[in-house]
């Protein structure tokens, strides 16, 4: 009897681009992809940060290149992507949040959040997908969304709105690009403990409010995102597209 063979999670010989790769979740994503054999290109505005991460990855014997890049600069994005090898994996991780009550939100806040979380994601994806299509080799696009792309939350109209937009873009691109062998999915984490989120938990009562919404009773860790990225980047998810992988400890199940 012939038994089926499990799809390989390996990414040997493939090139991956991770935005927002200088810290936090981005570092974890880059590490996961590099450990599976991909050559990872680490993009972030701070050259010092991405070079430090790339050096640490290479010290493990894996492949990584630093790519100082402001993903809100359209011309710079196009030039950077054109200079890279054709990518097999894109992880749009760069993002920001400015939580405020509606009455206090400024247009600068709006432009900053939507400019990075939506516009830059779209521009980077467009540049990468153009080359994927020209090469005819297919690929995997992974958008780091949020549980807030599925639900609402007080003081987060901008963040929720931007992440709901990411979910819509993900589904539309999955339909459009499916015939070309390009899969598009999102990962929607709950609150992940990083340097960016730590100040929020210093606000009295906020941590208790968050934990009360998570049936598993804990915050997310960057390691929780690594397995999700590894799955969606590899052939293990060959028939998965247009979906949002919720890594939220059960927040949205209620």
> Hey, which residues are catalytic here?
159
Q: How many residues are recorded in the chain?
A: 254
Closest CA to 77 of 120, 22, 137, 110: 120
152 and 180 Cβ atoms separated by less than 8 Å: no
Task: Output DSSP code: residue 69.
Answer: -
Closest CA to 143 of 196, 78, 70, 90: 90
Q: Two tokens at 55?
A: 């050096």
124 and 90 Cβ atoms separated by less than 8 Å: yes
CA distance 30 to 17: 8
Closest CA to 9 of 233, 203, 190, 161: 233
């Amino acid at each position: 009897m012939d038994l089926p063979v499990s799809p390989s999670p390996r990414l040997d010989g493939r090139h991956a681009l991770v935005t927002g790769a200088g810290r936090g979740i981005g570092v974890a994503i880059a590490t996961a992809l590099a450990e599976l054999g991909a050559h990872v290109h680490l993009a972030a505005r701070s050259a010092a940060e991405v070079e430090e991460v790339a050096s640490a990855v290479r010290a493990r014997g894996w492949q990584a290149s630093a790519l100082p890049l402001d993903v809100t600069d359209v011309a710079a994005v196009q030039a950077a992507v054109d200079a890279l090898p054709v990518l097999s994996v894109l992880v749009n991780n760069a993002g920001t949040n400015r939580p405020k009550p509606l009455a206090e939100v400024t247009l600068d806040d709006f432009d900053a959040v939507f400019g990075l979380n939506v516009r830059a994601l779209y521009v980077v994806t467009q540049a990468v997908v153009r080359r994927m299509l020209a090469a005819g080799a297919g690929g995997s696009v992974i958008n780091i969304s949020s549980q807030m792309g599925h639900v609402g939350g007080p003081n987060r109209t901008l963040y929720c709105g931007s992440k709901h937009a990411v979910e819509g873009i993900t589904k539309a691109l999955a339909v459009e690009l499916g015939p070309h062998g390009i899969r598009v999915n999102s990962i929607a984490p709950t609150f992940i403990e990083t340097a960016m989120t730590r100040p929020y938990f210093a606000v009295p009562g906020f941590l208790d409010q968050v934990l009360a919404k998570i049936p598993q009773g804990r915050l997310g860790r960057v390691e929780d995102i690594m397995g999700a990225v590894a799955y969606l980047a590899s052939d293990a998810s060959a028939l998965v597209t247009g979906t949002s992988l919720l890594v939220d400890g059960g927040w949205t199940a209620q």
